[in-house]
Each structure stands twice: as C-alpha cells, then as structure tokens.
Amino acid sequence: MSAEYPAMKLNGQTHIVVGGAGYIGSHVCKMIADHGGEPVTFDNFSSGHPHAVRWGPAIDVDLRNAQSLNEALSAYQDASSVIHLASSIEVGIGEKDPAGFYNNNVIGAFNLLEGMRKHGLDRFIFSSTCATYGETNKVPLTEDQNQNPFSVYGKTKLAIEHMIQSYHNAYGLKYITLRYFNASGADPSGEIGEEHDPETHLIPIAMQAAAGLRGKMKIFGTDYETPDGTCVRDYIHVNDIARAHILGLGKFDAGLTNLEVNIGTGNGYSNLEILKMVEEVTGLPLPYDATPRRPGDVTQLFADASKAKAELNFVPQYSDLEYIIRSAWNFHRSRWQL
C-alpha cells in the first residue's frame, strides 16, 4: 500500500449519503467523519446494514417514496452536498427484472433530484459505473468514448447521468459523476466491508468458496478474447473510491460545477488472476467450475484514470491487488470467525 493521502478537512460540513449503509456508502461515511465532516445516511436498508452506520445519524427512507424523501430532506436542507450511492447493481438480476431496476434506480434518482431542487440543495456526487460504456475493443476506457451500455444495470446508470446533465443545464445543479470500476477490498480496520446478500461479486464469492462456506464457485465464460479466456476488470479499493468523494467535495468548494470522471487504476486483471491471488493470500485451494457466459457481461473494462488525476488530484493509494485481497480477507475472516 502506498502512503496515505494528504490531510483535508471538511470543517464540520454535513453531507447526505444516500445508501450510506451499503458497501461503498459506509466507507464514504467513515471517510467523511475521518476528515471532520458529518455523514447523514439515507437508506431503506433493503440491502444495506444498520451495523454499518457508525459515523453519523441514519434516516430510514426509500427514494421511490417522494413524500417521505422530501420530509427527510427538509430536515437537512442546510447540508453541503448529497452523495448518491443507492442503486440496484446485480447485473444478472437486472436482465431478469428490468422493471425493478428502472423503478429503483431511475425513478429513485429522479425523486432525489427533484427533492434537492425543492430544498435548495445543489451539490451532487453520483456513483455511476464503467458499465455505461458497454462492449468495446478500445481500452483503457476514456471518458469521451461513446456510451452504449450492454446491461440493464448500465442502461439505468446512463439514464441517470443524462438526467443529471439536464438538471445542470436547466437548473444549475453542480455535480460530479464518478464512473467506478470494480469496487473491492475493505477498510483496514476490519469494521466494514463487502456484505451483499445474495453475494454476486467475484472476490467475496471466491473467498467463501476457499473457506468452504459454499460449493464450487462459477466462472462465467472462459471463451472471451483475453489471454486466459476470462473477463478482465479494473479492481479499485473501496477506500480509494471513498477518497475520490472527499476530493470531489473539495473541488466543489473551489468552484467546480460539473464533471464526469473514471475512478479506476488503469490495470486489468482476469477472473482467473483474481482466483490465483485469493489462493495465495488465503493459503487455501479454491475450487471452481467453468460455466457459460452470463448475460450482460462484457469482455474487458479498465480505466484511463488520467482525467481523475488531472481534475481531482486522484491517485489510487490502496489498490495494489494483493492489498485489496488481504484487506477483504481480513474483514471476511473476522466476520466468519475463521
């Protein structure tokens, strides 16, 4: 792991973190608190966890309920910013239930933007995704590439991006859209980490399989045009993602009004490379079966991160692959009492 980021203070500012009980959201809340701010979690706890809300108050609210959302926003209309991390994310589920994804993701985001407009909240950080780019032969991915998402998940995120841009043009919304690549790892304290239910992400599933907590894991597709035939992704530590939000908040204070930027490392690792590193870190064999491709998956996605460095002074500090796996294993081993 590289040296820590230089200190930056939020000077007691309140920041609404929508989805603050979730994986990335809880790390964002912790980092806001660590930098002298107060995070206020808005969450319906459908996938987030009450025990992950440790650094500020929590409001039980569903973005799809405009009335209750507006009541919650009215209590915090002096907040410095709104950070939106509450979305349905499971690619396979999105292909089976697009209505649910559009309802939760797009309608929820619309209600949030309208509530912000009503209450005079005009600083917004949105957690988008590299999935908005879709299938492409051009990597690393730059922010000016065409966005043609392949999955329902990516399509809902792109719809929200377009909505945010329209609110900026028409109503003066100040925004930063962070297109995350693959969030991974856990806070070094071991207090919070990845806890999806059901779990659909490669690293925690691999660790469950290695620990004997599930049967053989599945590798979806071994016939992609990559060196070992499996998908390639850019894995970025969740604390690096959280830090990108802190840097973004500082840029708002410096006058930034709008930005779309990749949050990744610029390095791609295949599914089989991830499994090998999990075996090395855990010291355990990792059984798996090769299965057909999963609908909605693309061949390879990794970032050109130069714009994030130029615009946000963002340089990943925690995203060495071995450190990502070790921090995740530290969290899961404690949680599973291994």
In terms of residue numbers, what domain contains 112?
14-185+235-265+304-316
C-alpha closest to that of 324 among 180, 192, 218, 187: 187
Residue 332 falls inside a structural domain: no
Q: How confident is the model at residue 72 (pLDDT cuts 50, 70, 90)?
A: very high
Q: Is the pLDDT of residue 334 over 80?
A: yes
- 3-class DSSP assignment, residue 236: strand
CA distance 124 to 174: 6
CA distance 198 to 319: 25
DSSP one-letter code for 303: B
* Contact between 170 and 164 (Cβ < 8 Å): no
pTM > 0.85: yes
Residue 3 falls inside a structural domain: no
Number of domains composing the chain = 1
For the question of residue 5 being annotated catalytic, the response is no
Lowest-confidence region among 2-16, 35-49, 190-204, 234-248: 2-16
C-alpha closest to that of 69 among 28, 116, 22: 116
Residue 50 falls inside a structural domain: yes
Q: Is the pLDDT of residue 4 over 60?
A: no
Residue 91 falls inside a structural domain: yes
Q: How confident is the model at residue 198 (pLDDT cuts 50, 70, 90)?
A: confident
Q: What is the pLDDT of residue 8?
A: 64
Helical ranges in 35-151 per DSSP H: 66-75, 91-96, 98-101, 108-118
For the record, the structure tokens of 272 come out as 């089989």
Q: Is the pLDDT of residue 10 over 90?
A: no
Mean model confidence pLDDT for the chain: 94
pLDDT digits (tens, 9 = 90+) for 203-226: 999 999 999 999 999 999 999 999
Mean pLDDT of 153-163: 97
Residue 126 falls inside a structural domain: yes
Q: What is the pLDDT of residue 297?
A: 80
- Percent of the chain at pLDDT exceeding 70: 97
* Contact between 236 and 305 (Cβ < 8 Å): no
pLDDT digits (tens, 9 = 90+) for 136-151: 878 899 999 999 998 9
C-alpha closest to that of 88 among 73, 109, 105: 105
Q: What is the pLDDT of residue 11?
A: 81
Mean pLDDT of 234-254: 96
Q: What is the pLDDT of residue 73?
A: 97
Q: Which one from 5, 153, 167, 180 is the annotated catalytic residue?
A: 153
The CATH number of whichever domain residue 114 belongs to comes to: 3.40.50.720
Residue 255 falls inside a structural domain: yes
Give burial (CB, 10 Å; 0-12/13-18/19+) of 225: exposed
Q: What is the pLDDT of residue 337?
A: 87
Residue 209 falls inside a structural domain: no
CA distance 41 to 86: 11
Q: What is the pLDDT of residue 199?
A: 84
Mean pLDDT of 76-105: 94
- Only one residue has tokens 């009450």, namely 50
Residue 282 falls inside a structural domain: no
Mean pLDDT of 181-185: 96
